[in-house]
Structure 1
């Protein structure tokens, strides 16, 4: 199942999904789609917001070497037993691998999470009494 954030690309992605499922590409047809791609507004779904953050942290790691968020999620990529990571497929140039391997540890950590019960600058919803 493919779930995506609502975007201007919805129609294009629906078309690509149909092509990959019914026509295929150089590797053949995709046969394991459970449904057509589902588009949700990230403002309405915390899971889509989390997927956005994970995708952003992966992007930041490979694009600019920012490991802070990536290091938080790396232990949770799927593995089979103690083998290599199977939940993230890497297709990067050897130069990128070398650059990432030579990065120093981050000097600025991500900010600490806000403790439960402390909510700042969030408007309170009030009800009007009749």
Structure 2
């Protein structure tokens, strides 16, 4: 019975939201840009804040968790920067649709902007 409870409380809402999104995408021509912006800047931080306020963890544990996440993020950023400097910019061709939004490292983005294969959004 516990497995069904987990499915209903955790997985079913995700499947339902994906289904609504799929149906909406088929029925209407929805621009993905504003939805993406709302998700990244409003919904995801709201979910994190809700989870932090709802957690049963103590303050010391949350501080240690935040420090670990920050250290991990900085470590991954350093690893990506080092990899980029060692490997350089690739010359591969990519097939994108006009509504695709891609976040790229500055070197890759600059190459696409110079070839007029991309446009800056800000």
Relative CO higher for 1 or 2, CA cutoff 8 Å, sep ≥ 6? Answer: 2
Give the strand-richer structure, 1 or 2: 1
After TM superposition, the score normalised by the length of structure 2 is 0.28
Give the helix-richer structure, 1 or 2: 2
After TM superposition, the score normalised by the length of structure 1 is 0.27
